[in-house]
Amino acid sequence: MQKAAKLRKSVEETKQALVKEAIRIHRDEEEATRKLTEAGAKLVKDGFTILTHCNTGPLATTGYGTALGVIIEAKAQGKNIKVFVDETRPLLQGARLTTWELKKAGIPFTLITDSMAGYFMSLGEVDCVIVGADRIAPTAIPPTRSAPISWRCWPKSTRFRSTLPRLPPPSTFP
C-alpha cells in the first residue's frame, strides 16, 4: 500500500492508487483462497467427520474462506460430511460464527466444547482436522494457539498427520 501511495501528485491520485491496490490484493487473496479450498477439498473423503476450530469462513476471509472453505468446497463436490465445531474460547468464534456459516451452507455440524475435541479424536470419531490461523509464517509454522491443548496431546496416539497450506496470498509476505 505504501508503494502504491508513493510519488502521487495529489490526494485524489493517492486515493485512487490505494483503492486500485486494495482491489488487487483482494483479487490475489480470492485466487489463493480458491486454490487452497480446491486442493484441501480433494483430501476430504466422502463420509468424513471433520473437526474444526475457530472461524475461517466467508465472514473472516474472501470467497468460501480458508479452512472452512475446504469444508464448504467438499460439500459442493457432493461429499457427505459432518463437522464437529469447537466453541473456540474465549471469544466463541466457532460457536457464534462457524456454526452460522455451516448452517447457511447446509452442512451438518455438532457444537462441542474445546476440551471435547481430544476425546472425540481418541475415540476415532474424527477423520480429519481442519484449522485456520490468523497468519502462517513463510516457514509454514502455525501459531501454537491454532488448536486446543487436548488436540496436541493426541497426535502420537492417533492416525493424524499435519498438513499446512503453502499458498499464502502474494500480498501477505514481501
Reported pTM: 0.78
pLDDT tens, residue by residue, 95-113: 999 999 999 999 999 999 9
Whole-angstrom distance, CA of residue 19 vs CA of residue 107: 36
More confident residue, 88 or 109: 109
Q: Is 28 a residue of the active site?
A: no
In a domain, 39, yes or no: yes
Q: Is 160 exposed, middle or buried (0-12, 13-18, 19+ CB in 10 A)?
A: middle
| 80 — pLDDT class (breaks 50, 70, 90) | very high
Which residue carries 472453505 as its cell? Answer: 69
| 14 — pLDDT class (breaks 50, 70, 90) | confident
Catalytic residue among 46, 114, 127, 134: 134
| Number of structural domains the chain divides into | 1
Query: What average pLDDT does range 3-20 have in this prediction?
Result: 82
Query: What average pLDDT does range 14-43 have in this prediction?
Result: 90
In a domain, 166, yes or no: no
In a domain, 121, yes or no: yes
| 172 — pLDDT class (breaks 50, 70, 90) | very low
- CATH code: domain of residue 29: 3.40.50.10470
pLDDT tens, residue by residue, 67-76: 899 999 999 9
Q: Supply the range of the domain harboring residue 66.
A: 2-157
Which residue carries 492416525 as its cell? Answer: 159
User: How big is the CA angle at 119 (ends 122 and 39), to the nearest 5 degrees?
Assistant: 70
Whole-angstrom distance, CA of residue 133 vs CA of residue 117: 17
**3-state DSSP assignment of residue 52:** strand
What are the grid coordinates assigned to 95, written together? 460457536
The gap from C-alpha 72 to its chain's centroid, in whole angstroms, comes to 11
In a domain, 67, yes or no: yes
In a domain, 162, yes or no: no
Closest CA relative to residue 142, chosen from 153, 131, 151, 150: 131
In a domain, 165, yes or no: no
